[in-house]
């Protein structure tokens, strides 16, 4: 079963990206298997930006070019292979750009109402994870859990770990400004 975790980092515009880097390190140690991750930021003009962890346009282009080359080769020979590859890459990139993978973008936007220009948020969809080690690794990141699919007791442990030292982090950020 997949696990959803959404965390907002108030007064920490780069905290979500740093936490995602930490989760990627855990993924290399086989402690978490990330299906999707999205870093959310709001610019000074109030526009919300979603930074997907998977470049769907690029993967769509690769898949489209493969099928375009294969179909072009079968039906039109070498020239069809070139034309089919180019057309397939374009169509695949376009379809990848408009595709939604993993966490629904509308769901992310709905939960990201609290994200201000000084804040960031992280949405993670994990296929599996070693809960105790992931909670320990996220300790002190200074966020606030806004949504999870975890059982209530584990969500409470995660919230406590994430908020540990949150006041010290917020104060050090204010001192730097």
Confidence of residue 170 (pLDDT cuts 50, 70, 90): low
Furthest C-alpha separation in the chain: 66
pLDDT at 65: 67
**Pairwise CA distance, residues 146 & 115, whole Å:** 11
**Pairwise CA distance, residues 155 & 160, whole Å:** 9
**Pairwise CA distance, residues 177 & 3, whole Å:** 36
Confidence of residue 86 (pLDDT cuts 50, 70, 90): low
Is residue 138 pLDDT above 70, yes or no?
Answer: yes
Contacts of 60 (CB under 8 A, 6+ apart): 92, 93, 94, 95, 96, 97, 99
The reported pTM is: 0.70
Give just the sign of the alpha carbon dihedral 90, 49, 30, 126: negative
């Amino acid at each position: 079963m997949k696990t959803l975790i959404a965390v907002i980092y108030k007064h920490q515009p780069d905290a979500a990206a740093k936490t995602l880097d930490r989760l990627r390190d855990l993924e290399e140690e086989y402690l978490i298997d990330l299906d999707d991750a999205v870093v959310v930021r709001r610019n000074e003009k109030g526009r919300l930006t979603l930074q997907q962890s998977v470049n769907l346009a690029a993967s769509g282009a690769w898949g489209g070019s493969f099928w375009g080359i294969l179909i072009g080769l079968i039906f039109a020979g070498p020239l069809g292979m070139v034309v089919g590859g180019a057309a397939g890459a374009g169509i695949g990139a376009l379809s990848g750009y408009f595709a939604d993978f993993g966490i629904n973008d509308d769901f992310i936007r709905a939960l990201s109402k609290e994200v201000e220009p000084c804040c960031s948020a992280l949405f993670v969809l994990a296929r599996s994870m070693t809960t105790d080690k992931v909670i320990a690794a996220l300790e002190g990141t200074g966020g606030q859990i806004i949504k999870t699919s975890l059982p209530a007791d584990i969500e409470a442990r995660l919230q406590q770990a994430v908020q540990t030292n949150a006041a010290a982090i917020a104060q050090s950020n204010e001192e730097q400004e």
